[in-house]
Amino acid sequence: MTAAPVGLVPTPPYGAIARVRAASRLAKTVLPGPIGDYLHRELAAWCEQGHRYDVSGTALAITADLEARGRAMALGRTYP
C-alpha cells in the first residue's frame, strides 16, 4: 500500500480484510502458545480498525507468512 494523502484513510487491497481475518484464526493453529494468541488478537484488531492506520503493510506481510506456514502444515512439510 502507498501512503495516503493527509486526511484520507488508506484503503487496503480488495479482499485483504478477509484474508487477514482468516490468518488471525490460523495463527492459533500454526503458532500454538502465546505468540499465536498474540497474533490472533492483533490481526483481529487490525481487521476492525487497524487497517485505517497501517500504511506499512505489516499485517499483510504477517498474513502471507501465516498462509505459507498453513499450506506447509497441510502438506506435512516444515516451514523454514
- Say how far apart CA 16 and CA 59 lie, in whole Å: 9
Q: How confident is the model over 9-31, as a mean pLDDT?
A: 85
- pTM for the model stands at 0.74
Which grid coordinates belong to 14? 480488495
Instruction: Yes or no: say if 63 and 19 are a contact pair by the CB < 8 Å rule.
Output: yes
Largest CA distance in the chain: 47
How confident is the prediction for the chain on average, in pLDDT?
82
7 pLDDT band, cuts 50/70/90, is low
Check pLDDT > 60 for residue 78.
yes
What is the predicted pLDDT for the residue at 44? 92
In terms of pLDDT, which residue wins out, 76 or 80? Answer: 76
